[in-house]
Amino acid sequence: MNLNAELRSTITTRFMPGRAASLTDDADLFLLMDSLDVIRLVTHLEKTYRVEVDDSEMIADNLSSVTRIAAFLERKRASA
């Protein structure tokens, strides 16, 4: 399973049950999830992918879609 598919599966299972069909890689997660879910997602990313997400990195450019999260994780892994 590629990273986008893995992220999409996690997001739909944990944060958007029943809405899997409507989630595309470029869908705006900030419109689909509440702020607490975004924090939970960040916590999940930190634990699962062993990255640290600084407060300054919790922005739409990094976290607002599956595509952006995957790119963000790739950058974090490359800089580790």
pLDDT at position 20 is 64
pLDDT at position 21 is 67
Mean pLDDT of 48-62: 95
Q: Note the pTM of the prediction, 2 decimals.
A: 0.91
Q: What is the 3-state secondary structure (H, E, C) of 12-37?
A: HHHCCCCCHHHCCCCCCHHHHCCHHH
Reported as a pLDDT band with limits 50, 70 and 90, residue 10 is very high
Give percent above pLDDT 70 in the chain. 98
* Among 44, 55, 62, 54, residue whose Cα is nearest residue 6: 44
Span 21-39, pLDDT tens digits? 678 999 999 998 999 999 9
Tokens (6 digits) for 60: 């739409």
